[in-house]
Structures are given as structure tokens and as C-alpha cells.
Structure 1
């Protein structure tokens, strides 16, 4: 699958391991809102996003789920319990109609029979996800409101399209919808974006980058 090679993690793996991972997975088509896996699930493994977008959510308690990220292709997510890991730590579901390649723990075991380096590779992937979330937290702590909105748009855009509603963008930036709407209007007036019914089109990525500082 050529799309997988766009993932930096996947591209760094030996060619033989790449082939076995791609062959070990199963492609699943998801409707908008359909769950891939839930926080606390014992069944773990990898999830490669082939098309669409995935919501990453964490339950703070029985009453509240928090959106912490939107994944776009060629994101590869996941973990495994087979080498000391635990159950799923986030809920992942389709934000729009999507296609994913799922590689379950049993499939990883079969890959490991021929390519034992797969466990090292999975550890690298888990570390990369931890590093990314640490950087996200740091950005949200130091950036001003306009910079947060601009950065999130660039982060979740698939090409020039950021398919996200204002409510989700507000949650991802820790701002009110009114504040997000005001910044989007300013970005549009500056020629950096255009707003649409299904999201935001990025017209000038360099202009958005300058707003981040």
C-alpha cells in the first residue's frame, strides 16, 4: 500500500517488515461516527488510517469525553499488550467516512515469527505517539489563542482541507466557539483560509504559519 510509505514510522522499517505488516492487516470501511476501538479495550494492535479522519477521545469520567486529536492519513496509531503494554488508552472513531488497516495483536505475533524486529518497531511507534502528545500539551500551554487555532488547522489538515467543525476546533484549542469563530473570521479576512459548511480550506499555509509565530 503506497500510502503507508508516507508514514515516517512505516518508511523507516525494513522492506521485509513493511510487506509483512501490510499483508497482516485487514482493511475496514467506517461510517462517520463508527468506533474503531474504545478506551479500556483489551484487544490492542495497530490502526493505519488510509482515508478519512479519526477522532481521538479520552473519558475523564463517566459523564465526559474529551476530544484530544484528529488523525489524518497517513497516521498509524496503536499499541500492543504482548510486550508489557496495557489496554487501549483512547477511544478512536471515524470523524468522516474512513478506511483503516487494522493489525491486531495476533497478526503482530504472526509477523514476529518471521520478523522479530516488529516489537522494536511497535515500541518506536508508541514512543513517537507519546512524544507527539507531549509536544501538543506544550504548545497549548505556551501559545496564545490565535496561534492555537492556526496550529491546530495546519496539524489536522489533509492537504488543503481541514474537515472540522467549530465545536471540535474549540475543544481542541481549549477556547470557546465564539473565540474560535472570531479568529477564523480574521484568518479569512487575511486571505489565509476560507470557511465552508464542512470545514476550513487552507488558502495560504505560510500565512497561517506566520500567525503561529
Structure 2
């Protein structure tokens, strides 16, 4: 199995080489975030490094282009992926097209058409508040023949509490956000569905979640990731 990376053109933008502030978050080219992943039994399962490559301005919004590099538990790297965020000044929008679409060699050159693609964080988070659902819908085509439908829905997003959290990257004031993730693929008419619970811990001034826990539908912890390094170059 390999991955199919989706790239989107930014259009005509003005490139800034200095840091941009938006929603209290500093976006600076060269800043990197390392996330370590563990099993429910605290066994290392891999790591992911996100690096901000470009910070641009378009239509009053700040666009953040990021390269994501993942490694397995042996340190073997996977192909790099593109991730994009948009900060409007009122909300931070994650471009879910950076999600890896699992595929095989026969599908690596197929066309992927995005229908819906959005996950939003508001300017202010507060305990007890409800966040808007997120969704990615995509179709995969071999020439003009549709081969697969893919759907990722992030629902029941609620800010459960505010607390302090310590990781190898430091101590942060975070908001605990619970959500349900529903994945659905239909390949050649055959449906595959997976659902799980996600609990993330988000700081107001850091782009990525400080920690994320994944639970199965019965509430059993399956694994978690933590921010281990945050470098501001």
C-alpha cells in the first residue's frame, strides 16, 4: 500500500519571509513541530514532523503551507505530504486534503476530486462550547470511471474543559476537545466504514494539538500522540 498526496495551487499570492501573527499564533517559515506516537501501552509507534515552508497573504487571510514527514517505529520515512492552513483572523481552517488516502500501486496515478474539505477552529475556545463539524469528501477516478468514494467526518466536537498539560515540549494551558471520527470508503461498490473517538488537547497559541488520544467505539484507548519538540527558527 502506498499513499496518494493531494496538492492544491495557491494561485497568485504575495510571499512573506518574516513571521505572521494570526489568532495569537506566530506563523514563521522554518518552524517545526515533532509529534511522537505511542500505543495504549506506551510503546513508541512512530513520529511525525511538520515544518512550515511558506507563509503567504491572500484576500486578507494568512495561508500557511506545511510539509509533513512521518516515520515508522524503525525510523523509516514515508513520502512527504502537503498540509495547508488558512487563518482569517476570526477562525483557523485546516485543509483536510493533506490527509493520506490509502491506496495501492494500481491507483497511484488516478485523479482525486475534492467535493468538501474543511475543519474549523474558532478565534476563541471556552469550556462547554460546541464546534462546527469537519468533513472531507473525495472521489477517485480512473480516467472517467469512478473507482472510490471517500468520506471523513469529524462530528460531536465539544470543548470539555481547560487544563494544564506537560509534554517533552513543555507545559501548556490547553483546551480538551472531544470528537467522533467517521471514515467511510466505497471501492468498486464495496463499503468500508471505521469509527473512533478522538480527544485532543489544544493550546491557543500553538498550531498543532499538544496531545491527541484515540479510542475505539467501546471507549478503550488505542493510542496517542504528544508534541515532543517545537522549534522556532
TM value normalised by structure 1: 0.26
Q: Indicate the structure whose relative CO is greater, using CA pairs within 8 Å and at least 6 residues apart.
A: 1
Higher helix proportion, which one?
A: 1
Q: TM-score, normalised by structure 2?
A: 0.24
